[in-house]
Amino acid sequence: MPVISAPHAFNEGQLYVDLRSIFGRSLYLKCEGFNFAGSIKMKAATEMVEAAERDGLLTPSSILIESSSGNLGVALSMIAASKGYRFLCVTDSRCNLSARLLMEALGSEVHVIADLDANGGFLGARIDYVRALCASDERYVWLSQYTNPNNWGAHYRKTGPEIARQFPLLDVLFVGAGTTGTLMGCARFFREWHRPVRIVAVDTVGSVAFGGQPGRRMIPGLGMSMRPPLLDESFVDEVIQVEEADTIRACHRLARRGFLFGGSTGTVVSGAVEWLSRNDARDLTAVAIAPDLGERYLDTIYQTSWLQDLYGDLLLGDRRGQGEPDPEEVTAGSVAVDPRSSAQGGSRER
The last residue of one of the domains, among 84, 107, 142, is 142
- Give the separation between CA 147 and CA 17, rounded to whole angstroms: 32
Total number of domains constituting the chain: 2
The single-letter code of the amino acid at 124 is G
Are 186 and 280 found together in one domain? Answer: yes
pLDDT digits (tens, 9 = 90+) for 117-175: 766 678 888 999 999 999 999 999 999 999 999 999 999 999 999 999 999 999 999 99
Q: For 239-248, 265-274, 326-335, which range has the lowest pLDDT when averaged over its residues? A: 326-335
Task: Classify residue 345: in a domain, yes or no.
Answer: no
Are 138 and 154 found together in one domain? Answer: no
Are 306 and 180 found together in one domain? Answer: yes
What's the Cα-to-Cα distance from 177 to each of 3, 11, 192, 224, 282, rounded to whole Å?
33, 21, 21, 8, 26
The last residue of one of the domains, among 83, 110, 142, is 142
Are 201 and 266 found together in one domain? Answer: yes
Are 188 and 281 found together in one domain? Answer: yes
The last residue of one of the domains, among 78, 109, 142, is 142
The tally of CA atoms less than 13 A away on the side-chain side of residue 65 is 22
Are 169 and 290 found together in one domain? Answer: yes
Please answer whether residues 32 and 66 qualify as being in contact, where contact means their C-beta atoms are separated by less than 8 angstroms: no
Are 179 and 274 found together in one domain? Answer: yes
Task: Classify residue 219: in a domain, yes or no.
Answer: yes
Amino acid 119: pLDDT = 64
Task: Classify residue 343: in a domain, yes or no.
Answer: no
pLDDT digits (tens, 9 = 90+) for 276-310: 999 988 889 999 999 999 999 999 999 999 898 88
Are 105 and 32 found together in one domain? Answer: no
Are 180 and 311 found together in one domain? Answer: yes
- Give the separation between CA 266 and CA 192, rounded to whole angstroms: 29
Question: What's CA 33's distance to the chain center, in Å?
Answer: 11
Are 78 and 122 found together in one domain? Answer: yes
CATH of the domain at 114: 3.40.50.1100
Are 19 and 74 found together in one domain? Answer: no
Are 128 and 189 found together in one domain? Answer: no
Q: Say how many C-beta atoms besides its own lie within 10 A of residue 336's C-beta.
A: 17
Average pLDDT over residues 47-68: 95
pLDDT digits (tens, 9 = 90+) for 214-236: 888 888 888 888 899 999 999 99
Amino acid 317: pLDDT = 64
Task: Classify residue 1: in a domain, yes or no.
Answer: no
pLDDT digits (tens, 9 = 90+) for 90-111: 998 888 889 999 999 999 999 9
Amino acid 324: pLDDT = 45
Task: Classify residue 342: in a domain, yes or no.
Answer: no
Residue 31: domain span: 7-36+149-337
